[in-house]
Structure 1
Amino acid sequence: MNIALLLEMAAEAAPDRVGLVCDGKRWTYGDLLDAARGAFELIQESEAEYVALLDESSEAAVIAVFGAALAGVPYCPLNYRLPDADLSALLGRVAPALVVGDEERITRLAGDQGHTIFSREEFTLKAQETVPEPESREYDPGEGVAIQLFTSGTTAAPKAAILRHSNLLGYILGTVEFASADEADAALVVVPPYHIAGISALMSSIYSLRKIVMLPNFSPEGWLSLVEAETVTNAFVVPTMLARIVDAMEKGVTVNVGSLRAIAYGGGKMPIEVIHKALERFPSAGFTNAYGLTETSSTVALLGPDDHREALASEDPKVRARLTSLGKPIPTVEMQIRGESGEVLGPNEPGEIYVRGEQVSGEYKEKSALDAEGWFPTRDAGYIDEHGYLFLSGRADDVIVRGGENMSPGEIEDVLLTHPAIADACACAIPSVEWGETVGVAIVTREGFETPSEDELKMLVRSRLRSSRVPEKIAFVAELPYNEMGKLLRRKVKDVLAEA
């Protein structure tokens, strides 16, 4: 099977239903399939081995991903925010490709790499103009690699994560019911096209026959306006986006958001204060925390709407704590927590999260990361409580090892965030002559509050945790560095602490 089947089924079932809205233009499912078939022709003519996208979200992304699937070549969306040198290297790794997007930049960086280059507008127009007659072409797209996504390299070149058609279809067919959406349902997609969350959002919406509403550039005002204008029913946001949306509403941006029935979030740690405010601001919406990775074809665990509301209403501290959890593994995925020696740990024992299932690729172009039994090490640290809820404590690589004792940055940050004057906090390892590593923290204070002293913050941590968790270095900063998906960039915080 091939992911192109998702669009073919949608177009056959409802060819005239609007499937996509972007910059005011509407595309039916029939239109999208015709354009994808036209893109197939362009790809065949180019003899490209990849289809790459260097652009914001648009109809071109949808046409490209399914056109590539029909042609049997990998779709490789690139992060247009990368520096020129990094992008040039990535473009070289997929040459020769049919590349869609920033024509001037692509030509300047990779004009000699053998690519076929189209602007967004030219690609979309040509794909529409070259639609073959249905009987004139038989598609044999194969079942190999569907998507190739480059990981964000920090100390080495980015790895090429591979998602096969079977992985993506394993996720979609296992979690989404075909044609389950009402014609009035609309999903607002604001995630960048080079992120797995954006790709899975397209596929799940198309398979359910839900209208996709694209917002290429996020702003809280633009997001809220689209919710009202397109009567959006479903949305996915990252924590930083939700925080800005709530803040805009608190500052007086008034729109009708009553159509929103479901808001999913993920991609980073959600501050407890933000989700509390969001639950109040969107009382009729069901919130879902979705945890997943590129290598797992998106979501592997969910904290559902009932869990959110139950936790918010409960007086039991353990139940309320579930708001900070990632919920439970989805039915099609197995999950384990393993210790340093690879042993499977029990409830409430912290270790590394491993997952297994049909949607789990765990494969890179360079090599596979799966063990002999098909388990994928996520490199995320966490634990599963006695009721089956997964709690994340950060990346396994982020663990602070002080004198042989492993410490989670998350537990230190959670304590600091209980201080009323602290808006955000990041704990990470800093070098120590005595201990090898020790704790450093970067603090963002709230506007209108007096900045707490270092001694006050150290006493707060000491009162809640063991003395080894007390930070030795504290830096006050204007803001913490996050990427566009809301992930905290601890490596940059380490640089700040080194300079402080």
Structure 2
Amino acid sequence: MNIALLLEMAAEAAPGRTALVCDGKRWTYGDLLAAARGAFELIQQSGAEYVALLDESSEAAVIAVFGAALAGVPYCPLNYRLPDADLAALLGRIAPALVIGDEERVLRIAGDQDHTVLSREDFTLKAQETVPADDAREYDPGEGVAIQLFTSGTTAAPKAAILRHSNLLGYILGTVEFASADEADAALVVVPPYHIAGISALLSSIYAQRRIVMLPGFSPERWLSLVEEEAITNAFVVPTMLARIVDAMDRGASAAIETLRAIAYGGGKMPLEVIHKALERFPRAGFTNAYGLTETSSTVALLGPDDHRAALASSDPRIRARLTSLGKPIPTVVMEIRGENGEVLPPGEAGEIYVRGEQVSGEYKEKSALDPEGWFPTRDAGYMDEDGYLFLSGRADDVIVRGGENMSPGEIEDVLLTHPAIADACAYAIPSVEWGEAVGVAVVTREDHVAPDEGELRELVRARLRSSRVPEKIAFLPELPYNEMGKLLRRKVKDVLAG
């Protein structure tokens, strides 16, 4: 099966229903399907082996996803925030491609790579004007690669993560009911198009026949305005976005938000203070924490709305702690926590998170990361409690190993964030002659507080955790580095402080 079937089914069931709104333009499901079929013709004529997008979210991204799927060519959205040299290298790895978006930049940095380059406007117009040459034309059956996404490549060259049609359909068909959205339902999408969360949000809403409202460049004020203007019912944000939205509301930004009944978040760690405030600011909305990876076609665990409200209202520390969890695995995947030797760990013991299921690709163009039984090692460290709730400790590579004892940076950060003067914290490994590794922390002080004494912070950690967790080095920074999805760039903190 081909992922384009999702759009074909939606267009056949309700061709005149509004499918997409972007920059004031509206597209019906019938419009999008016709444009996707026109894009198929453009792709065939170009001889491209990939369809790349170098642009913000727009109708061109939607048309390109399904046009590429119909043509049997991998869709490869690129991070337009990358430096020229890095971007040129990625373009070289997918040549020859039909590249949509920043025409001037592509020709300047990769003009010798034999790409066909079209601006967003030209691609969209040509796709609309191009009529399939044969009404009986056969499209790709969807047995190959649908999406190729380059990993962030923080320590090495980016890997090309492969998602096949079967992986993406395994996720959508297992989690979304066809045509389940009312005609008034609208999803606000602000995630960059090169992130799996943006792609899965698009596919999910298309299959549910929900109206998609795109916000290419995020600002909390514009986000709130669109909620009111388009009567948004569903939204997905990353933690840093939600923090900015709540802060804007605290500073007086307002909008009619009564229609907003579902807010999902993911992509990074959600500070407790932010989710507490958000639950108060959006009392009618159900919050969902979604945990997933590119290699798993998006979400593999969910903390649902009932869990959020129950945790907020409870006086039981065990239940309140669930606000910091990722919830439980979704029904379509199996999850295990494994130790260093591959053994399955009991509840409460931290190890590496492994997942398996039809939606799990675990595949790169370079090689597959699946073990013989189909399990994918996420490289995320975490544990599951006795009730099956998943708690994330950080990346497995970020674990601090002090004298043979594994320590989670997350547990140290959580303690530091209980201090009223600390706005943000990052724990990381520093070299130690005696222990091999020791704990270093970088903290950000709140604007309206005086920086606490280092001894005070060490005593706070000692009182809550074992003495081995007490930081040997404490650095005060004006801010911590995050990527656009709200993930803390821990290694960048280490590099800055080492320099």
Both structures adopt the same fold (TM-score exceeding 0.5):
yes
The 5 Å alignment of 1:51-450 reads 51-132=51-132, 135=135, 137-450=137-450
8 A Cα contact 1:440 1:497, kept in partner? no
Kindly, what percent of the aligned residue pairs are identical?
86
How far off its partner does 1:276 sit?
A: 0.3
How far off its partner does 1:450 sit?
A: 1.5
TM (norm. structure 2) is: 0.99
Equivalent position amino acid for 2:441 in 1: V
Equivalent position amino acid for 2:175 in 1: T
* Secondary structure of the structure 2 residue equivalent to 1:135: coil
Tell me the matched-pair count. 499
Unaligned runs of 5+ residues in structure 1 are none
How far off its partner does 1:156 sit?
A: 1.2
In structure 2, what is the equivalent of residue 478 of structure 1?
Answer: 478
Equivalent position amino acid for 1:147 in 2: I
Equivalent position amino acid for 1:392 in 2: L
In structure 1, what is the equivalent of residue 490 of structure 2?
Answer: 490
Q: Show CA shifts across 1:183-206 (max 9, x none).
A: 000000000000000000000000
How far off its partner does 1:136 sit?
A: 5.0
Equivalent position amino acid for 2:344 in 1: V
Equivalent position amino acid for 2:156 in 1: A
Task: Label 1:134 to 1:45 Cα distance change in 2 as closer, same or farther (>3 A).
Answer: closer
Unaligned runs of 5+ residues in structure 2 are none
Give, in whole Å, the separation in 2 of the partners of 1:381 and 1:491: 16
Equivalent position amino acid for 2:251 in 1: K
Q: Show CA shifts across 1:240-261 (max 9, x none).
A: 0000000000000011111100
Q: Show CA shifts across 1:287-345 (max 9, x none).
A: 00000000000000000000000000000000000000000000000000000000001
Give, in whole Å, the separation in 2 of the partners of 1:186 and 1:303: 22
8 A Cα contact 2:462 2:469, kept in partner? yes
Give, in whole Å, the separation in 2 of the partners of 1:190 and 1:454: 39
Give, in whole Å, the separation in 1 of the partners of 2:370 and 2:13: 38
Equivalent position amino acid for 2:39 in 1: A
Q: Show CA shifts across 1:449-493 (max 9, x none).
A: 121010110111111111111111111111110000000000111
How far off its partner does 1:141 sit?
A: 4.0
Give, in whole Å, the separation in 1 of the partners of 2:140 and 2:290: 34
Q: Show CA shifts across 1:153-178 (max 9, x none).
A: 12211000000000000000000000
Give, in whole Å, the separation in 1 of the partners of 2:476 and 2:93: 41
8 A Cα contact 2:441 2:474, kept in partner? yes
Give, in whole Å, the separation in 2 of the partners of 1:257 and 1:32: 29
In structure 2, what is the equivalent of residue 14 of structure 1?
Answer: 14
8 A Cα contact 1:425 1:442, kept in partner? yes
* Secondary structure of the structure 2 residue equivalent to 1:166: helix
8 A Cα contact 1:473 1:497, kept in partner? no
Equivalent position amino acid for 1:116 in 2: T
Give, in whole Å, the separation in 2 of the partners of 1:133 and 1:7: 20
Task: Label 1:133 to 1:182 Cα distance change in 2 as closer, same or farther (>3 A).
Answer: farther
How far off its partner does 1:131 sit?
A: 2.5
How far off its partner does 1:268 sit?
A: 0.3
8 A Cα contact 1:52 1:78, kept in partner? yes
The 5 Å alignment of 1:452-463 reads 452-463=452-463
* Secondary structure of the structure 2 residue equivalent to 1:155: coil
8 A Cα contact 2:36 2:66, kept in partner? yes
Equivalent position amino acid for 1:221 in 2: E
Give, in whole Å, the separation in 1 of the partners of 2:322 and 2:208: 29
Give, in whole Å, the separation in 2 of the partners of 1:472 and 1:384: 29
Equivalent position amino acid for 1:320 in 2: R
Give, in whole Å, the separation in 2 of the partners of 1:464 and 1:203: 44
Equivalent position amino acid for 2:40 in 1: F
Q: Show CA shifts across 1:66-94 (max 9, x none).
A: 00000001000000000111000000000
8 A Cα contact 2:2 2:140, kept in partner? no
Give, in whole Å, the separation in 1 of the partners of 2:291 and 2:134: 40
